[in-house]
Structure formats: structure tokens, C-alpha cells
Amino acid sequence: MTLLLASLASCVSGDAARPTAALARTSVESIAAETVIGIESELRSAIEDGGLVGVSVAVAAGGAPVYAQGFGHADAGRSIPATKDTAFDVASIGKHFTAVAILLLRDEGRLSIDQKARDWVPELPDHFPDATIEQLLRHTSGFVDGELDEQNPPPEYRKKRYGAELLSDVAIARGSAEFPPDRTWVYSNAGYVVLGIIVERASGARYDRFVRERLLDPLRLDGISVLERVSEPRMAQALRRTESGVAEMPYIDMTAYGGAGSICASVVDLMTWWRALNDGSLLSPESLATLRSASTVTGVADRAEVPYGMAQRLGRLGGHRKVGHTGTFDGGSAALYYYPDDDLAVAVLSNTRGLGTPHARSLEAEIALEILDTEPTETRRAPLSEEQKALIRGRYGHGGKKRFIAQFEGDELIVVIDDRPAERLVHVGGLEFRNPAKPLVHEYFLMDGARVGWWVYNESASYVEVLRRLD
């Protein structure tokens, strides 16, 4: 990271499409002026060429903010500029707050993460797994969510619902336990909805009140809202881009998401939150380490480690360790990551999805690469034996409707999804594969006895999902 020798002054401009940097000197290395130019070029391109309506970014180095800026607009009518203070629905980044709330309650002796979820929520439906709190935190309960159509939500999603009322959530009600607990990793919003209810029952306070009083108020984070949206015009609209243009998403009350992601915040708010989490202001050292520890899954013969903690995706970008989370819904995306070896944090929030718009996850990775002055890991082909191909070849899934097949054409891995070839990757050694056309895609296989048991997928150095061998 290049040393910034002098602060760069902000320039006042009425043109929202041409923002200028807001930088501050810190006691550690910071980002240089030419790096800022690269970042801003990337984000302008995401709007002008990628189709985003609005996006905000913040960077912190050495625990202090060094850059924060908005690009584009907060609304479909493009009348409200997006700024560093614009609030976005941060979607699954909200799981941070639920996981921290659970571990805070553990630190206070109010619950154990080894307890079964049913100990706290006995009215869970019969089809929900008999999983522990820790298994819900780590997405290893084996439960596969029912799918919510956010563009045509059920009528009850327009109403305020709290606590046990959320057990009628589509993710829970229409989901199913496809794997025994700990057998594989399956991302589950339903699990975090249940965790939000557990927070309420262990604390004696409604979810939003506990998060506000115990996590946000001590940090003076008045700008973050829980179970409700921030007042207009500060709140960015959730937008969907289609062939016919950009339209606001149908209304869904924020209470519908409960502990799975009901937070609205700005990038500046997220930097303050992350700094407090990182410096031990919220959790004991043991709980913070647990939050960021990799999860373990159990196969037929072996156990394997997957790069996910508790609402924490773990990865490496160009050799730099990173930890954080993403958020995705039909009206926007979010990313908040920390690079512990570099003491660097990056937050990106956008208000547009659909029609090939870039995800905040990929923008965050490109910004971090620019700041760290590094490149994605180089794709170097390695020999792949017939024995190795035999270990991998087969059918995989994560409990959803999609079925994945790993097959080979020469030494190249062909990813087949629902009988259609979707991706071609090259072996780089150790049963790891990369896509030469997409250097930030990294996939690898984990052994379970004599054959591969899990197929792990990373994109933008962000752990995305695991597929379990089905045959």
C-alpha cells in the first residue's frame, strides 16, 4: 500500500456523476491519489457501463477512515445523488449483527451455542432440523430454504411481523432438511431468522431493541436502522434493471427478514461497526476468534474445513487474507470485508440488480486489488492425472433444484449445471481449479475417504457455496 504523503482536499461539485475523493491522513499507510483515480474509474464504469444506478464505497486503513464517496443516484428518477451517507439495505451483512448478538449473549452466560435451537424455539415446524445454535450460525444445519420471489412477495410480507410470527417465513415454511446437521454447508436464511428469535428469547427484548441498545447505541450508530428503513431521502431505493428499464422493487417490510438481514446502513456506518467489532469493543477475544474460525463438515469417512465462520466469509485475495460478508437481493448488493494482514477494510453498497449489473462483491475485490497494488493469483496449469479425474468426476448438489456434474474434456474441468455446460476451468494443482477468463473464480475439491466429498466455489476471493457429492 502506497504512503499518502498529503491529504487530498475534497472539491465541491454539483455533478453527482463526477465525485471527488474525501481522504484523510492516518498514522499508517493509506491510499495514494493515483489509486483513488483507479477506484473512481472502476465505480463510474459500474454505473455508465455496468448499469448500476447508485453505489457507495468506504475504505479504512489502520482503523481510521481514509476514503468515502457515493456515485450515481439513490433513486430511479435520478434526482437524489448517492453519497457516503446514503443508507442502503445491506441484506445478509445484517447476519453480522445477529451472530454478534448471539455471541454477546453467550459471553454473558445467557445461552450456549451447543444448545439445540428447539430448546429456545420449541414451536419450530417438524421439518426443521434438530440443529444446534452453532450449526445455524455456521450454515451447517443441512436445511435448504424455500425460495422467496421478491418480485412477487406474499401479501403478509407487506405487514410488520415480529418474533414467532416469522416462523411462517417462506424460507422456513417451504424449506426442507436435505442433509443431516454437519454433513455439508448450505447457506440458510431460515437459520438466521430462527437465531433472531433466539436473541429475543435469551435477552428478553425484541430483536431490534436488543441490537439497538446493546450493539448500536454504545457506538453512537444512530444512522443504522433495524427492522425498518431509514427515512427518505437518505434511504436508497431498491431497484431492478430489466430490458425495459429500471423500476423500484415491490415493497417488503424490513421486519420480514428478522435476524437474516434487516439492517439499513451507509458505508460510513459499516466502517464504524467493523472497527468496533475488530478492536474488541463488542465481543470477548474468544468469541471474536470463534466468529472468524472456519467451519467443519463431516462426511462419510472424513471431516473437512470450509472457509466460513459465523456470518463471516473467509478467503484470500492475491495472497491477502480477507474476512467479511456479502449481501444479495433482487434490488441491490453489498460487501464488507477486512484484510487483517494489511489492516484494511472496504465496504461497497449498491442499489441495483438484474441484467448483468456488477455485484458489490466483485467491485470490493477490484478496489482492494487496486489499494493493495496486487493481482489475482496467476492461473498456472498443472498436470491432472486420470486418477485425480476419477476422484472428482460425478454428481453434486446443495439441496436445491439445480444439479451439478463435474466432467472433463482433456485436462479441463467442465462444469455442467442442469445438463448444460456452464464453465470451463483449468487445474492449478492440489485439486484446485481456476477460470482463465475470470481470474477471481477459484474452485476446489475436498476429499471424503477414497473420493471427493465436497466441491467448494469462491468468487472474488469470497466464499460462495459448497456442493456435496450426491453419487
pLDDT at 30: 60
Query: Angle at the Cα of 412 (from 408 to 416), degrees rounded to 5?
Result: 50
pLDDT at 447 over 70: yes
Tell me: pLDDT of 5 over 50. Answer: no
Any domain includes 457: yes
* Whole-angstrom distance, CA of residue 23 vs CA of residue 12: 14
Instruction: Write the CB contacts of 353 (distance below 8 Å, at least 6 apart in sequence).
Output: 239, 240, 241, 328, 329, 330, 331, 332, 333
The structural domain count of the chain equals 1
Distance CA 450, CA 446 (A): 11
Q: Is residue 420 part of a domain?
A: yes
* Residue 3: pLDDT band with limits 50, 70, 90: very low
Are the C-beta atoms of 197 and 153 separated by less than 8 Å?
no
Closest CA to 361 of 265, 261, 235, 461: 461
pLDDT at 213 over 50: yes
pLDDT > 90 fraction of the chain, expressed in percent and rounded: 87
Cis peptide before 376 (omega within 30 of 0): no
Is 259 inside any structural domain? Answer: no
- Give the up-direction half-sphere exposure of residue 47: CA atoms within 13 A in the CB hemisphere: 25
Q: What pLDDT, in 10s, does the model give residues 233-274?
A: 999 999 999 999 999 999 999 999 999 999 999 999 999 999
Query: For residue 429, what pLDDT is reported?
Result: 95
Domain-embedded: residue 434: yes
394 within a domain of the structure (yes/no): yes
With respect to residue 222, please indicate whether it lies within any of the assigned structural domains: no
| Residue 29 reports pLDDT greater than 70 | no
37 torsion bin: left (phi>0), alpha (psi -120 to 50), beta (else):
alpha
Q: pTM score > 0.85 for this model?
A: yes
Cα 356 to Cα 241, 245, 353, distances in angstroms: 9, 13, 8
Q: State the residue range of the domain holding 411.
A: 386-469
The Cα 226–Cα 216 span in angstroms is 10
Query: pLDDT tier at 194 (50, 70, 90 boundaries)?
Result: very high
Does residue 189 sit within a domain?
no
* pLDDT at residue 401 is higher than 90: no
CATH number of the domain encompassing residue 442? 2.40.128
Mean pLDDT computed over 156-175: 97
pLDDT reading at 158 higher than 90: yes
- pLDDT(25) > 50: no
Q: What is the pLDDT of residues 329-383, one digit of tens each?
A: 999 999 999 999 999 999 999 999 999 999 999 999 999 999 999 988 888 999 9
Instruction: Give me 218's grid cell.
Output: 454504545
End-to-end CA distance of the chain: 47
Is 440 inside any structural domain?
yes
How many CA atoms lie within 13 Å of 352's alpha carbon, on the beta-carbon side?
A: 27
Instruction: Please give the pLDDT value at position 28.
Output: 33
